[in-house]
């Protein structure tokens, strides 16, 4: 951990023009309005600032090789576990933008699967010298652990909007965010190497669906949003998206009744 802690405080800054067509493809993958100039897709900034990595720069899981901006954690599994957002002003499509990222914290924990390393990344997106949004991501690295058993469809998901992401949906979302993690498209890899029963739905995909639901519930643009992944969702299985038990909360419940993702919002 001593070497990993040395990554705290590292920063990088990237620039990009927020091309409306890229936002439109993200919206199409999400299944929301394609009129992105009028109604930007929820969490659509994730369609930008994704590194173009050559094949030689990828690890065996399809992610970029360890090291570089993120610390070189050696634990084999990694996931985007949670994030908190503040929306300061709408993004201006077609205009240049600047994203500054900083490694805010690196810490170790013990979990059900053994050792964990959590990395917090603070992200600030600006345009025209004005801050547009802030985001703190938590990325979790863990040991391989035991295989995850299949999730039975018990019909216990309850009420809410039905969402059943299929292989095409997973492919399009990965394409829109330039995500080559193999657990979302390589069935033999996900079963034989990572021990999941089927392709895993992207956590950010579910978060964006919940952000869309939260925006419709609020009836106004959100000023804040946060989500946390609790359990995996799998391809071709029904998910229910609905308000949570607490005020200003939404949840994604999988077909066995387990809450997979929780989120809270402000408007």
| Domains of the chain as residue ranges with CATH | 2-266 (3.10.129.10)
Name the phi and psi angles at 159, rounded to 5.
Answer: -85, 175
Average pLDDT over residues 84-102: 97
Task: Please say if the pLDDT value at position 68 is more than 90.
Answer: no
Task: Please report which confidence band the pLDDT of residue 67 belongs to, taking 50, 70 and 90 as the band edges.
Answer: confident
Task: Please report which confidence band the pLDDT of residue 157 belongs to, taking 50, 70 and 90 as the band edges.
Answer: very high
Task: Please say if the pLDDT value at position 3 is more than 90.
Answer: no
DSSP β-ladder status, 249-253 and 161-163: unpaired
Q: How far apart are CA 48 and CA 17, in angstroms?
A: 9
Token reading at 81 = 């576990």
For residue 114, the model assigns a pLDDT of 82
Task: Please report which confidence band the pLDDT of residue 167 belongs to, taking 50, 70 and 90 as the band edges.
Answer: very high
Chain segment 15-44, per-residue pLDDT in tens: 999 999 999 999 999 999 999 999 999 999
For residue 228, the model assigns a pLDDT of 98
Q: How far apart are CA 202 and CA 183, in angstroms?
A: 9
Task: Please report which confidence band the pLDDT of residue 59 belongs to, taking 50, 70 and 90 as the band edges.
Answer: very high
Token reading at 192 = 């034989």
């Amino acid at each position: 951990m001593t070497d990993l802690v040395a990554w705290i405080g590292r920063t990088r800054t990237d620039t990009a023009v927020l091309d409306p067509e890229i936002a439109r493809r993200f919206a199409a993958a999400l299944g929301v309005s394609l009129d992105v100039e009028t109604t930007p897709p929820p969490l659509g900034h994730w369609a930008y600032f994704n590194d173009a990595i050559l094949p030689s720069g990828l690890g065996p899981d399809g992610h970029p090789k360890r090291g570089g901006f993120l610390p070189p954690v050696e634990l084999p599994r990694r996931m985007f576990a949670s994030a908190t957002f503040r929306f300061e002003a709408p993004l201006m499509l077609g205009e240049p933008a600047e994203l500054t990222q900083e490694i805010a914290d690196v810490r170790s924990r013990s979990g059900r699967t053994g050792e964990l390393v959590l990395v917090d990344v603070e992200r600030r997106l600006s345009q025209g010298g004005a801050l547009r949004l802030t985001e703190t991501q938590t990325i979790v690295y863990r040991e391989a652990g035991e295989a995850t058993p299949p999730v039975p469809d018990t019909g216990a998901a309850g009420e809410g909007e039905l969402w059943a992401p299929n292989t095409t949906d997973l492919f399009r979302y990965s394409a829109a965010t330039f995500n080559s993690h193999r657990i979302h498209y390589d069935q033999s890899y996900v079963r034989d190497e990572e021990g999941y029963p089927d392709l895993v739905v992207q956590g950010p995909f579910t978060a964006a669906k919940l952000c869309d639901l939260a925006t419709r519930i609020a009836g106004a643009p959100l000023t804040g949003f946060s989500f946390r992944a609790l359990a995996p969702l799998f391809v071709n299985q029904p998910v229910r998206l609905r308000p949570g038990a607490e005020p200003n909360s939404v949840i994604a419940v999988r077909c066995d009744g387990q809450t997979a993702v929780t989120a809270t919002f402000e408007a």
